[in-house]
Structure 1
Amino acid sequence: MSFSQEFSSWFAPKGPPIAQVPVPGTPAPKTPKLTLRPQTPTILAFLRHCGCPFAEKTFLNLRETAQSHQNLDFLAISHSSPQATETWLKSLPQAGSEPSNLRVIVDEELEAYAAWGLGTAGFAHVLSPAGLYGVWALGKAEGIWNRPTESGSRWQVSGAFGVDGEGIVRWGGAAGRADERFDFEEGVRVVESGVGAAKL
């Protein structure tokens, strides 16, 4: 990791035009970058850049939920480069313990992010006092701090969604702030019931 790589993470991401965020009750967006298995409920987590403590917490929570629900698919989508994503994954606690129903998809071109309505964040989303306090609080409570950022943008909005076996979005939305947490167990309950819930 070089200074220039770390510095470049502060530039806004450049990707395709941003679609509307899908709301519960609407069909899941389709893109070649991200395909869902037919007849299989799926939980998706679009991560912030690899190195972000909130991306790490999100991935660890997603992995734990996937381990407990082997009948569902779980997708973690990274917009960092393949090499940076792999390096980051190997640096996480209990690396290699991902269950077979959890896949990591690299979307460096932001094709899937854009299709799911996840674009560039505003200043308050990334650098609000509450969000910055969240960085310290997460590190203090769980030892999850910033890791080196080799690629990706700090301004990329994250999000989480739950899609039922018929391909209908039932849960989730875009993160309102960089430090927002996602309740994946709630997402599982919603997609398994087939009844849409409110947006995040």
Structure 2
Amino acid sequence: MTWQSEFWSWMSPPSVQTAETPGVGQQAPSTPKISIPAQDGQPTIVSFLRHCGCPFAEKTFLNLREIAPAHPNMHFIAVSHSDQESTDRWLASLPEPSKNTQPNMQIVVDAEREAYAAWGLGTSSFWHVLGSIPGVSKLKEDGINVRSTESGSRWQTAGNFGVDGQGIVKWSRKDQGADDMPDFKEGVDKVLGGKSA
């Protein structure tokens, strides 16, 4: 990490054409990096993360990683817009990195932000980012701190979606602020029609 990479993370990223965020009942987008519906017909939870190094991205990923083993008949996809090398280093720095590899969990790197754009996730406002600063202190109580930002943009929005085996969105949650944390149990319940344990 250098001061230059931290500096560039505050710059607005290149503009991409952003689609509408898919709502409940709509067909989920399928992109070269995220194939929806899954070939095996199983439902999928997709989590588009903020940049690697962001404490809210870390908390979101750890929560996703925690719920995945309880639902072996679902797919869980975490999407990073930091580059591959930065994403790999970030994952290795997390607590218990061996848990990052699970049979039903996939980590996709989308540095060009094409999948983000296809799912309606563009750049955020000034307050979307800076309004989240008080939330950082709450995460510190959980042992999560701000880590180095090697690549990615602080202005990229995040979002979380649940899709059934036919590719229909059952849970659509575009984060309203950088500190807006998803409830993956809610997402699983929506996808499974309230049948989760």
TM-score normalised by length of structure 2: 0.94
Answer yes or no: is the 8 Å Cα contact 1:170–1:194 preserved in 2: no
| Structure 1 counterpart of 2:87 | 85
Letter in 2 for 1:43: I
In structure 2, the residue corresponding to 1:93 is in which secondary structure?
coil
Q: Within 2, Cα distance between the matches of 1:12 and 1:101?
A: 34
Query: Is 1:112 the equivalent of 2:101?
Result: no
Q: Within 1, Cα distance between the matches of 2:89 and 2:76?
A: 20
- Alpha-carbon deviations, 1:38-89, whole Å to 9, x = none? 3110001000000000000000000001011111000000000000000000
Answer yes or no: is the 8 Å Cα contact 2:52–2:80 preserved in 1: yes
Letter in 2 for 1:75: I
Superposition pairs for residues 19-98 of structure 1, below 5 Å?
A: 19-36=19-36, 37-38=38-39, 39-98=41-100
Query: Is 1:152 the equivalent of 2:152?
Result: yes
Answer yes or no: is the 8 Å Cα contact 1:46–1:158 preserved in 2: yes
In structure 1, the residue corresponding to 2:160 is in which secondary structure?
strand
| Structure 2 counterpart of 1:198 | none
In structure 2, the residue corresponding to 1:193 is in which secondary structure?
coil
Q: Within 2, Cα distance between the matches of 1:142 and 1:11?
A: 29
Percent identity at matched positions?
53
Query: Where do 4+ consecutive residues of structure 1 move more than 2 Å?
Result: none
Superposition pairs for residues 149-188 of structure 1, below 5 Å?
A: 149-188=149-188
Query: Is 1:122 the equivalent of 2:132?
Result: no
TM-score normalised by length of structure 1: 0.93
Q: Within 2, Cα distance between the matches of 1:190 and 1:105?
A: 23
In structure 2, the residue corresponding to 1:97 is in which secondary structure?
helix
Q: Within 2, Cα distance between the matches of 1:56 and 1:26?
A: 29
| Structure 1 counterpart of 2:4 | 4
Answer yes or no: is the 8 Å Cα contact 1:43–1:162 preserved in 2: yes
